[in-house]
Amino acid sequence: MAIGQEMELAKTWESIEQQLNEYPAPFQGADVTYGFNLSGTEAGEYVLKLAGQQAEVTAADTAGADCVLSMNVGDFYKLLHGKLNTTSAFMMGKLKVKGSLGLALKLEGILTKYRF
């Protein structure tokens, strides 16, 4: 993996955490942990924890997450930018969900309230 690509993903996660914390209303009252197993050029494991009105992103093992989403980094970016929805990605085999599919759909609903 090229260093520039790794930094791009790190900046994306920083932006996600910052925007969620600046405007927590869409996930208010949530107490859930999402894991992301990303494959491809910027492969890695990340955890997004939503609790109360706080969002925290860490590069960490996803084993303890309530819902783990596994996908290619390119598809992850498409999901963030609203160019791929969770249901379609799941049906096409581009997204694998471990845990509740309902939680994955809820995450999509939260993320559509932001611009990444």
Characterize the bridge pairing of strands 30-39 and 44-52.
antiparallel
Judge whether 9 lies within some domain.
Answer: yes
Report which of 23, 43, 12, 48 is spatially closest to residue 33, judged by C-alpha positions: 48
Across the chain, mean pLDDT equals 92
Q: What's the CATH code of the domain at 55?
A: 3.30.1050.10
In sequence order, what are the residues at sequence separation of 6 or more whose Cβ sits closer than 8 angstroms to the Cβ of residue 84? 75, 78, 94
| 116 falls within a domain | no
Residue 37 falls inside a structural domain: yes
Could you report how far apart the first and last alpha carbons of the chain are, in Å?
22
- Residue 3 above 60 pLDDT? no
* Number of structural domains found in the chain: 1
What pTM, to 2 d.p., does this model score? 0.91
Place of tokens 């590069």: 59
Residue 52 sits in which domain range?
A: 3-111
pLDDT digits (tens, 9 = 90+) for 15-33: 999 999 999 999 999 999 9
Collapsed DSSP state (helix, strand, coil) of residue 82: coil
Nearest to 5 by CA among 57, 77, 65: 77
How many Å apart are CA 79 and CA 111, to the nearest integer?
A: 9
